[in-house]
Structure 1
Amino acid sequence: MSDAPTSGRILPAASVMLTTIMAIMDMTIVNVTLPHMMGALGATADQVTWVLTAYIVAEAVTIPLTGWLAARFGRRRVMLVGIAGFVIASAACGLSESLSQMVLFRLIQGIAGAPLIPLSQGVLVTLFPAEQRGKAMAIWGIGVMLGPVLGPTVGGLVTEHLDWRWVFYINLPVGLLNLAMVARSIRETPRQPAGTDWLGALLMIVGIGSLQTMLDRGNQEGWWDSGVILLLTLTAVVGLALFVWRGLTAKQPIVDLRLFADRNLALASTLMLVFGLALFGTIAIQPLLMERLLGYPVETTGLVMAPRGLGAALGMLIVARISGRVDARWIIAIGMGLAGGATWVMSWYTLDISPGWLIWPGVVQGVGMGSIFVTLSTLAYVTLPASQTDAGAGLYNLSRSIGSSIGVSIAATWYSRFGQADWNQLGGHINPFNPALHHWLQVQGLTLSNPKAAVLLTNELSRQSSMLAFTQVFGMIALSFVLMLPLLLLLKPTGKK
């Protein structure tokens, strides 16, 4: 397929890009609809978050099976079944009348959609020759990067102007169009004999499923103060340890972990895990900053977040042009510098920032992240045999999925813990002996004994401690880019000498 003329690559590339956007966007499009679902499904705020957890866990458990599925049934057939299942499950989610129904159909939606992302990447890897691999990963990366950014924006607009059920119904026309495009443009791959390692599959489901559930629910449950989280952690550690042992020793493992012997795939997957932490950690908390503290409506928040996606697309297009001519390590290093620097600027935010100060660091961060994403996605498959592309893509995308879950979980935990510490520290300055307090009250036309003073002070303390917590989280995310830099030394030089 890599010998196909450029004109013959347009429809397949467009097909897999639409597939990627559709699958990735459903990870975040539901977030803004949760308050509306609570009343319709009769669920509490804690219960309704299982709508998110179900999809995340189902996707993480199924992604590693991509190579086995493609080998046993053929890449095109798996994609068609996956898209069809995703569309049907989306319709069922929209028709759900109870929380149990919604969680069940979200599980099915996650299972059906999980192989679509790595298979889309696998199609592009085999469709384009090695010298144009950067261009291929830019096309795929635009879908992966735009999906999480556009999800809350589209979800907010649809919920505001139509109904929350339409965040699922819009998948029907998009999915049917995508189904037709894939059926028309994607070639089938030869089916290969693939044994079924049921023990390995069970260990994988238990280990990865427990890990993802623990990460998604940990902050809500109070982490290891909760017996449930302790049990999930123990199950994840034991299950993953046995899964790794099985994957390295079985003759025909369900997931061939020996592929990580490929240095590029192993390092790219490790960097992608940390990168997913930074990307999704930022995307998870910035809307909270704008909506909770700055009072932005959902639509405005989406519009402010959207330029980050444009910056990512720009970064990917630039890298696609210079890929193969510049050492990949330098491209990643520059991308980390841009993304880390922009995130560090976010740690300077105050309650008085303008929308411009929210937008331009996001654009710069997007350019850096887009550069990193395309380059890593290209490096991961440089030395991997073509026959192992789908299996390698499954492992690589599992790193992205776990990294994103860790990022969201850690960012939420940091925000909660930093907020509590800042509340206590700032609250210590509210005492009758602080002249600054009396000056502030005088400006408000109040005295310390006035009942309104306590209300105003409590509100202001909450705002200031929350703002400090957000900036501290941004600072920690910026630091994560610095921690990734030493791993670049392990990568082999690329590009023209």
Structure 2
Amino acid sequence: MTDGIALSRFQRTMITIAVMTATLLQVLDTTIANVALPHMQTSLGATRETVNWVLTSYIIASAVAIPITGWLADRIGRKTLFVAAAIGFTASSALCAAAMGIGEIVAFRVLQGIAGAFLVPLAQAILFDINPPERHASAMALFGGGVMIGPILGPVLGGWLTEYYSWRWVFLVNVPVGTVATVMLWRYLPSGKTIKRRFDLFGFALMGLALASFQLMLDRGQQLDWFASWEIWVECFVALAAAWMFVVHLVSARDPLVDPKMFRDRNFVAGMLFMLMTGAVMLAGLSLLPPLLQTLFGYSVLQSGLLTAPRGLGTLVSMLLVGRIASRVDSRTLLLVGLSLMALSLWQMSGFTLEMDRRPIILSGVIQGFGLGFVFVPLQTLAFETLGVHYRTSAASLLNLTRNVGGSIGISLVTVLLGRNFQVSHAALTSNVTATDLPPLPPSLAAPGQFVGQSALQMLESEVSRQAMMIAYLDDFWVMMLATIAAFPLLLLIRRKPKPANTAA
């Protein structure tokens, strides 16, 4: 496939609908099951620790499988791989819904993660191929809509399905939609050429080992008190050792899993770094807001999901806008505007109070979503602008892998900071509480000046804990704002593709 491959408008539309449907399904499944975990735990007779493997297994399987997308697409063709992945994702979703034990659903989630890993990078590469260069920004706006809005809609849809139906519908909903997408892909997606490439088994093993160990460390670190556990030390050592060996193998092997020439492209490297930051801020924010709204503000699961939805609306609107103006405005300017809006929204969130209503939550969410759209669309276009066409599938897989890794790092980082800042804030607040701060009993119950005993202490401790937790959340938002500001210098790495000079007739 090449830029703007000759297709009818109808065929291009059908392919776009099919690949975006598959993309949305895969992205939704990264977050849709989160809210259903308590129900799965009860239904499957699992413990709190084992039920978390429903999420962990999917993340690890997807991270390990993503890097081989480029090789598989070259070897068997994009159409064959895309259709096979869509069938595998749909079938494994049905198996997850039918699982009768925790072991079964974890095994089926591994299959779902492997199949789903190929969908997003293939969709991105195909959208580039079926559209001419002048429509790449619009295509990436559409692609970004699915990738960025999916994680936001996931908790809302998952909460509604679980509350009114069953946790099994979280997976069953994929079956009819996935079936339609598969049929459309088979019918309208043209067959591409195949390239025989030797499979770098050693490189794949090293990368898979590094990613799996790193994801395990991030996922289980908080639960095991991080480096107080030997398991975390082992996982950290294995991840670092395997990653170092992979880098050495990458630059010395004759036919490595990933062509190292890709990393000579400055825009692509800058895009990966931007994607790392974007994934961290977006997914970390999504992991913080729902528990904040539910535990400190008293909103229900469904209400908290609806309050995070405006961020998705802001993202959708800004992506549609950027898709229209990207050809007339320097993409670096759009990135600057997006980063500034994201930093502004996080600054607003660092000023949340326990007495506020829902308006600041909605406003900061819309602004942050607007900023994400201004970042994501030009970022996707710039990352591929100076890169060779034959690198697109591999580059798309690496960009999506970077976003997922960034999200995992961001979630782990804010979780650690939340716990530690809560302890620090709680200790600081407690040190300023004295016996005179306890409320006296009403005159009808006791003599003036007599203090309530254990009940008053429990009430005071509850309020101190509530205030300390709010301070910890605000500190997290402040750190996320600083991380966003730290990404501004990356704009200096990006260069525009030179326009061809006009030649005289």
Q: Per the shorter chain, which TM-score range?
A: over 0.9
Once the two structures are superposed, the pairs formed by residues 254-269 of structure 1 within 5 Å of their partners are 254-269=257-272
Separation (CA, whole Å) in 1 of partners of 2:212 and 2:432: 45
Q: How many angstroms apart in 1 are the aligned matches of 2:217 and 2:240? A: 11
CA–CA separation in structure 1 for the residues paired with 2:81 and 2:496: 36
Count of residues paired in the alignment: 493
Alignment partner, residue 383 of structure 1: 386
Aligned to 1:399: 402
Gaps of 5+ in 2: 501-505
Is 1:465 aligned to residue 464 of structure 2? Answer: no
In the alignment, the residues of structure 1 paired with residue 334 and residue 10 of structure 2 have an alpha-carbon distance, to the nearest angstrom, of 29
Distance 1:438 1:462 in 2: 16
Larger Rg: 2
Matched residue type, 2:336: A
Check conservation: 1:323, 1:495, Cα contact below 8 A.
Answer: no
Give the secondary-structure state (helix, strand or coil) at the position aligned to 1:350: coil
Task: Report the Cα distance in structure 2 between the residues aligned to 1:359 and 1:128, rounded to whole angstroms.
Answer: 35
Match of 1:76 among 74, 79, 83: 79
Task: State how 1:38-77 maps to structure 2 within 5 Å.
Answer: 38-77=41-80
How far residue 149 of structure 1 moved from its aligned partner, in angstroms, is 0.3
1:139 partnered with 2:179: no
1:64, 1:395 within 8 Å by CA — same for their partners in 2? yes
CA contact (8 A) 2:138 2:323 kept: yes
From 160, 163, 175, give the equivalent of 1:160: 163
| Alignment check: 8 A CA contact 2:140 2:381 kept | yes
Query: Structure 1 stretches of 5 or more lacking a match?
Result: none
Alignment pair present for 1:233 and 2:225: no
Q: Which digits, 9 at most, give the CA deviation of each residue in 1:333-390, with x for residues without a partner?
A: 1101111101110011111121111111101100001110111111111111111110
1:223 equivalent among 226, 232, 240: 226
C-alpha deviation, 1:493, in angstroms: 4.1
SS state of the match for residue 147, structure 1? helix
CA distance in 2, matches of 1:347, 1:82: 41
CA distance 1:418–1:12, shift in 2 (3 Å): same
8 Å CA contact 2:36–2:158 kept in 1: the answer is yes
Report the Cα distance in structure 2 between the residues aligned to 1:379 and 1:125, rounded to whole angstroms. Answer: 12
Moved over 6 A (4+): 439-443, 494-497
Worse overlay, 88-97 or 116-125: 88-97
In the TM superposition, what whole-angstrom CA distance separates every residue of 1:23-43 from its partner, at most 9, and x where no partner exists? Answer: 011010000011011112221
Mean Cα deviation higher: 154-163 or 354-363:
354-363
Please give the alpha-carbon distance, in whole angstroms, between the structure 1 residues aligned to 2:163 and 2:12.
38
Q: Which amino acid is 2:475 matched to?
A: Q
Change (3 A) 1:496 1:427: farther
- 1:126-153 per-position Cα deviation (integer Å, ceiling 9, x unaligned): 1111111110100100000111001110
Contact 1:447/1:453, CA 8 A, preserved across alignment: no
Partner of 2:302: 299
Is contact 1:327–1:496 with CA below 8 Å preserved after alignment? Answer: no
Secondary structure of the 1:351 match is coil
Identify the residue that residue 247 of structure 1 maps to in structure 2. Answer: 250
Under a length normalisation based on structure 1, what TM-score does the superposition of the two structures give?
0.96
Rounded Cα–Cα distance in structure 1 between residues aligned with 2:476 and 2:288: 9
CA contact (8 A) 1:438 1:447 kept: no
321, 325, 342: which one pairs with 1:318?
Answer: 321
Instruction: For residue 241 of structure 1, report the CA deviation from its aligned partner.
Output: 0.9
1:272 aligns with 2:275: yes
Among 25, 28, 53, the residue aligned to 1:25: 28
Give CA deviations for 1:159-192 in whole Å, capped at 9, x if unaligned: 0010011101111001101111211222221010
Are the structure 2 counterparts of residues 447 and 154 from structure 1 closer, same or farther at C-alpha, using a change threshold of 3 Å? farther
Picking from 113, 117, 127, the partner of 1:114 is: 117
SS of residue matched to 1:192: coil
**1:253 offset after TM fit, Å?**
1.3
Q: Distance in 1 between matches of 2:46 and 2:369?
A: 36
Match of 1:349 among 348, 352, 369: 352
Equivalent residue in structure 2 for 1:290, among 293, 297, 322? 293
Q: CA deviation at 1:447?
A: 5.5
Report if aligned partners of 2:440, 2:451 keep a CA contact under 8 Å in 1. no
Q: Do the aligned residues in 1 keep the contact of 2:315 with 2:370 (CA within 8 Å)?
A: yes
Deviation at 1:254, TM superposition (A): 2.0
Paired residues of 1:328 and 1:495 also in contact (CA < 8 A): no
Matched with 1:421 is 424
Q: Which amino acid aligns with 2:433?
A: I
Q: For residue 254 of structure 2, what is the amino acid of its counterpart?
A: K
**1:158 aligned counterpart, secondary structure:** helix
| Cα distance, 1:441 vs structure 2 | 8.5
SS in 2 for 1:194: coil
Deviation at 1:4, TM superposition (A): 3.6
Rounded to whole Å, the distance in 2 between the matches of 1:193 and 1:251 is 15
**In 2, Cα distance between equivalents of 1:424 and 1:258:** 52
Q: Does the alignment pair 1:123 with 2:126?
A: yes
1:366 aligns with 2:369: yes
Q: Which residue of 1 aligns with 2:483?
A: 480
CA distance in 2, matches of 1:304, 1:6: 38
* Cross-structure match for 2:503: none
Look up the match of 2:154: 151
SS in 1 for 2:487: helix
Say if 1:328 and 1:494, in contact at 8 Å, map to a contact too.
no
- CA contact under 8 A between 2:439 and 2:452: conserved in structure 1? no
The yes-or-no answer on 1:453 pairing with 2:456 is yes
